[in-house]
Chain A
Amino acid sequence: MSLGKEMGTQAGEKGGRMLSLSVDGKSVQVREGAFVLEAARAAGVEIPTLCHHPALEPYGGCRLCLVDVTRPEWGGWCKLVIACQFPAEEGLLVHTATERVVETRRVVLDLLLARCPETPLVQELARRHGIEQTSYVANPEPTDCILCALCTRVCDHLGISAIATVNRGIGREVAPPWGEAPPDCIGCLACAEICPTSCIPYETSEGSRTIWGKTFEMLRCTRCGRAHVTVAEADFFAGRGGVPRSYFELCDACKRKEMAATFVKLSRGAAGFSVGA
């Protein structure tokens, strides 16, 4: 089992040149290859995001993290960029709360509220930016999906890619291929767990689990019979990182019990030591 560290987008990881930049007047250092969002967070400047996740590649979907960037030699010219995908540069001056940034972010939130007028997360975020009601026509078919694509990206990241965004424009949505039960889905629920508005429905019980219209058989602990993961999950993850399929046979509680028994046995074997009853 080796720990591959191929994910290189996080601030503060070892190696690489360090860059100095300024965020709202605070100077901050980040590793080369980091994005402006990381620099801002390292400087303690809060930037709202909906589609960002530290473990996933930046996506630039929600457009909420936009900031103004400029350089001293640009003679006062500046540009609006999204912080999550704009690479940090040496000497870059980042402004996160200029009138232009605040106003543009309000438009983005106003539009998002028009799409999702009944979603508490969007309502709360809009309210914090001074928007009580959308100034556009509210979606007559309200949805909770903000199209942040965290679900599809986490599925891609796991190497499964059972779901994707489909269609374009107002018809865009997250769905399995052809809207049918996705053949590649393993029922891990990572999509439902990562969804910031909890809008991916699923059902899970001792007997079975259903998500995206696909029902999964649960793997039962061979000792106590408790269902702990889906069979498809165990099959998919077995072998990863050198973890054998046999590790999935017992549930965690039974494994602890077995471990306790092993300790007692080993201790009894040690000469001159008593472990009691």
Chain B
Amino acid sequence: MEMIYKVSIERCIGCGKCELACAFAHGSEGSPAKTRINIFHRGPEVGTPVVCFQCGDAACAAICPTHAIVRNERTGAFEVDEGRCILCRMCIPACPFGNMLWDDAYHRVAKCDLCGGDPKCVPFCPTGALVYVPAAEAKRRPEPLVREAV
């Protein structure tokens, strides 16, 4: 796991492009409601993106009765093996952060899988609130956004 998906709420302007990119990347709807990253608006042009943390000790994977949620060692992301999933949906209430979702359009559970190592939301983020960077770089505190300049 060399790369880290880093979210800096300090830089989010709540534009919702990541939600749309996510919805398109994982289905054909392209509806912001089908996203696996959710922005909470806390004022005009300020948002807080909430997305799976890929926990070290993940409740979704721990509760899954068929071991259908498995960490991809290459990307570090927990991925749902839809072949093994029995749709008991227990991972949804088990996630303490609410990042396990039900996808009604495709009738499946859904979570951020870092798009297999190429998170599609990242290139759409105009302010660098979402970045996919080497682990060493991810440790650095984010630069505050000069909002007037955006």
Q: A247, B87: Cβ atoms under 8 Å?
A: no
Distance (whole angstroms) from the CB of B45 to the closest CB of chain A: 8
Known contacts A1-B58, A274-B10, A252 near B144 by CB under 8 Å: no
- CB-CB < 8 A to B46: which residues of A? 275-277
A55 contacts chain B at the CB level, 8 A cutoff: yes
Contact with B along A220-253 (1 / 0, CB 8 A): 0000000011000110010011110001101111
- CB-CB < 8 A to A252: which residues of B? 92-93, 95, 98-102
B54 contacts chain A at the CB level, 8 A cutoff: no
Q: Count chain B CB atoms within 10 A of each CB in A194, A261, A264, A275 and give the residue with the most.
A: A275
Contact with A along B35-71 (1 / 0, CB 8 A): 0001010111110101000000111011111111000
Distance (whole angstroms) from the CB of B91 to the closest CB of chain A: 10
Q: A264, B9: Cβ atoms under 8 Å?
A: yes
Q: B40, A7: Cβ atoms under 8 Å?
A: no
Known contacts A188-B90, A275-B10, A276-B147, A237 near B44 by CB under 8 Å: no
Residue of B nearest to A242 (CB): B62
Q: B10, A237: Cβ atoms under 8 Å?
A: no
Q: B50, A194: Cβ atoms under 8 Å?
A: no
A95 contacts chain B at the CB level, 8 A cutoff: no
Query: Cα distance A9–B119 when bound, in Å?
Result: 32
B149 contacts chain A at the CB level, 8 A cutoff: no
Partner of A277, one of B43, B66, B90, B101: B43
Query: Cα distance A237–B59 when bound, in Å?
Result: 12
Known contacts A241-B63, A264-B48, A267-B9, A255 near B98 by CB under 8 Å: yes
Q: B61, A243: Cβ atoms under 8 Å?
A: no
- CB-CB < 8 A to B83: which residues of A? 54-55
Query: Cα distance A273–B62 when bound, in Å?
Result: 36
- What class of interface size applies to chain A in its complex with B? 35 or more
**Residues of B within 8 A of A (CB-CB), count:** 45
B133 contacts chain A at the CB level, 8 A cutoff: no
- CB-CB < 8 A to B43: which residues of A? 276-277
Query: Cα distance A272–B50 when bound, in Å?
Result: 23
B97 contacts chain A at the CB level, 8 A cutoff: yes
Query: Cα distance A256–B36 when bound, in Å?
Result: 11
Partner of B59, one of A1, A188, A254: A1
Contact with B along A153-194 (1 / 0, CB 8 A): 010011100000000000000000000000000001110011
Q: B96, A247: Cβ atoms under 8 Å?
A: yes
**Nearest 3 Cβ contacts at the A-B interface:** A241-B62, A255-B98, A277-B43
17 contacts between A and B (CB under 8 A): A54-B81, A55-B67, A55-B86, A56-B66, A157-B86, A193-B87, A229-B93, A241-B94, A247-B59, A250-B98, A252-B99, A256-B97, A258-B98, A260-B42, A275-B46, A276-B43, A277-B46
Interface residue ranges, A against B (CB under 8 Å): 1-5, 7, 53-56, 154, 157-159, 188-190, 193-194, 228-229, 233-234, 237, 240-243, 247-248, 250-261, 263-264, 267, 270, 273-277
Interface residue ranges, B against A (CB under 8 Å): 9-10, 38, 40, 42-46, 48, 50, 57-59, 61-68, 81, 83-90, 92-102, 141, 144, 147
